């Protein structure tokens, strides 16, 4: 199963990116509207063959996501096309076996990526919520024991993305409006952000308890702490992640260092 090592950078910091080129070409998740291929009798008669096709389609979907995250092309449009191909394959995965957890999980990852393509706050919010919702759906479809923690890491990552979105939204509203309503909206979105960060932290601490050598879990927890303004804690967790041979993005380390330096300067 593909591990999306730097996905938090996509879901969190890259929410600042704008532009919708390519997002409209990504297919909708089939399980939201379509029906599985064939009637029940047909599916039962071809069950083994369909499961094989479903697994192969899921594998292709993960591969295309890997191409995107590894930026296998220097052309942005081509990189974004990988997202469309990924969703298409996860749709085939679901059509041939609607009990395949990977269809929902993969669609959740794709939705999270799509959220970085757009500058419409309502659509960004919708996609980020769906990213988490689809992963929760995956958990209801017999996830193998050796994949549960990986799925939980992606779910925590999605919660971090939602928390970052609401945190950023609350700050924007305060900058644009200064009335009582704006302060109320800011407060309510800050509470949403705090709730999602709390959920992410709970999941990540549980994964770390079960897999104390999981570097990605420490990295994602460092991101949670960073968003919550706990910069010293974020630095410590990032260092723990590196000690477990996880490649923490340089930009993230620089952001932590800048925040710590800024806090020290403000105290002078």
Q: Which residues have C-beta within 8 Å of that of residue 24, sequence separation ≥ 6? A: none
Q: What is the pLDDT of residues 212-251, one digit of tens each?
A: 999 999 999 999 999 999 999 999 999 999 999 999 999 9
How far apart CA 43 and CA 33 sit, in angstroms, is 18
| Cα torsion 167, 172, 178, 181: sign | negative
Cα within 13 Å of Cα(111), Cβ side: 32
- The torsion region of residue 22 among left (phi > 0), alpha (psi -120 to 50) and beta comes to left
Structure tokens that stand for 71 in this block:
């930026």
Domains delineated in the chain:
1-143 (no CATH), 146-268 (1.25.40)
Asked if residue 30 has pLDDT above 60, the reply is: yes
What pLDDT does residue 22 have?
40
Q: What is the pLDDT of residues 181-211, one digit of tens each?
A: 555 556 789 999 999 999 999 999 999 999 9
What pLDDT does residue 88 have?
97
| Cα torsion 168, 172, 175, 181: sign | negative
Residue carrying structure tokens 């910069």:
231
Global pTM reads: 0.85
């Amino acid at each position: 199963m593909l591990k999306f090592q730097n996905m938090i950078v996509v879901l969190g910091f890259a929410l600042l990116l704008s532009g919708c080129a390519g997002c409209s070409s990504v297919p909708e998740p089939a399980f939201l509207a379509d029906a599985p291929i064939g009637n029940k009798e047909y599916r039962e008669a071809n069950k083994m063959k369909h499961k094989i096709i479903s697994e192969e389609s899921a594998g292709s979907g993960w591969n295309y996501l890997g191409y995107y995250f590894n930026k296998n092309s220097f052309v942005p449009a081509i990189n974004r096309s990988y997202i469309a191909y990924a969703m298409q394959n996860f749709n085939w995965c679901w059509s041939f076996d609607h009990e395949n957890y990977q269809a929902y999980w993969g669609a959740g990852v794709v939705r999270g990526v799509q959220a970085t393509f757009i500058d419409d706050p309502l659509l960004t919010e919708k996609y980020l919520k769906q990213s988490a919702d689809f992963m929760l759906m995956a958990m209801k479809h017999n996830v193998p024991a050796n994949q549960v923690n990986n799925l939980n890491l992606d779910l925590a990552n999605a919660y971090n993305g939602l928390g970052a979105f609401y945190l950023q939204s609350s700050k924007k509203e305060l900058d644009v409006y200064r009335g009582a309503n704006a302060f109320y909206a800011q407060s309510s979105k800050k509470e949403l952000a705090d709730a999602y960060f709390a959920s992410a932290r709970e999941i990540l601490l549980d994964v770390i308890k079960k897999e104390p050598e999981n570097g990605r879990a420490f990295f994602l927890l460092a991101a949670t702490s960073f968003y919550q303004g706990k910069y010293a804690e974020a630095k410590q967790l990032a260092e723990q992640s590196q000690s477990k041979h996880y490649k923490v993005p340089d930009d993230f380390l620089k952001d932590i260092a800048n925040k710590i330096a800024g806090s020290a300067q403000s105290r002078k």
